[in-house]
A and B are shown apart, each in its own frame.
Chain A
Amino acid sequence: MKARVTVTLKSGVLDPQGKAIEGALRSLGLTGVASVRQGKVFDVELEGHDRAQAEALLKQAADKLLANTVIENYRVEVVG
């Protein structure tokens, strides 16, 4: 079973890397970009076939390690 955990910065948390990327896009002449926030994606392969169990496991993984919930939010998707 495949799953994806997406970790993003909470709104209001300053993202210097996102700002730098935003500036680089502008300097490439790509106009129309209002703002960029950088995040992380984890593609995870799971043993077993129980979706609910998989979601619970990934939530634990995100809370314990993948995200720092002081500054980050996360989203868990079981892709199937």
Chain B
Amino acid sequence: MKAAVLVFPGINRERDMARTLKLISGREPAMVWHAERELPAGTDLVVIPGGFSYGDYLRCGAIAARAPIMDAVFAFAGKGGLTLGVCNGFQILCEAGLLPGVLMRNARLRFICRDVFLRVEHSDSPFTRGYSVGQVIRVPVAHGEGNYIADAETIKRIEDEGRVLLRYCSPDGKLDEAWNVNGAINAIAGIVNERGNVLGMMPHPENHVEAALGVTDGRGLFVGLMEALERAA
């Protein structure tokens, strides 16, 4: 795995992400500053971490989505390169048009920082191959704007095409508005693009990978990604 972690001013989860990528793959990711115009040669995974790029000014992720490095990300993703956006990274991917829809203010208006339960809807993706369909994983969220929405036609399309990989659910895997923490439509927590190589998700799998923290449910995503990259190599 030759990962590149993008760094925008105001991002604050890039070191958690780098630590996890190193832990799982054994290889230090490249940290790529937003003003760069190219990704390091041989990059096979681009990660846009969480945080508050540009202080969430204008709209969450709006300014980062227009940063110089994003042209290289468009080219990379356009060639099928695996691209993962977590939290603010998901917001940036939506603002950049790499994923459809938008993340609105949480329905109950509060910033939410807690563990949530996610149901894995499909495991035939490089991002979720480390899990089984219907598996419930526990990972944390920390966001004020995670309420996913798109127009009805887009929602129908992404649902019909099986592009919702993760949904908020109860601890036993049931869809229940009480567990849909931010009010996202259809309890959507993570979606992929049409080609399936770009994933955006609000929760932070990178924060649940070490036994010392009690939960390691996030590991599957990174282990699966690494296996997918090894198979492709």
Q: Which of B24-32, B58-66, B80-88, B187-195 contacts A (4 or more CB under 8 A)?
A: B58-66
- B149 in contact with A14 (CB, 8 Å): yes
Q: Within the complex, which residue of A17, A20, A66, A71 is in contact with B149, where a contact is CB–CB below 8 Å?
A: A71
- A17 in contact with B105 (CB, 8 Å): yes
Whose C-beta in chain A lies nearest to the C-beta of B101?
A70
Is B95's CB within 8 Å of the partner chain A? yes
Is A64's CB within 8 Å of the partner chain B? yes
Q: Which residues of B contact A20 (CB under 8 A)?
A: 109
User: At the interface, is chain B mostly helix, strand, loop or mixed?
Assistant: loop
Is A39's CB within 8 Å of the partner chain B? no
Question: Nearest Cβ distance between residue B150 and chain A, in whole angstroms?
Answer: 7
- A68 in contact with B109 (CB, 8 Å): no
- B66 in contact with A65 (CB, 8 Å): yes
Is A13's CB within 8 Å of the partner chain B? yes
Is B170's CB within 8 Å of the partner chain A? no
Residues of B at the A interface (CB closer than 8 Å) are: 58-59, 62-63, 66, 95, 100-102, 104-109, 147, 149-151
The list of the 10 closest CB pairs from A to B, nearest first, reads: A16-B105, A70-B102, A16-B109, A71-B102, A20-B109, A17-B105, A68-B59, A68-B102, A16-B107, A65-B66
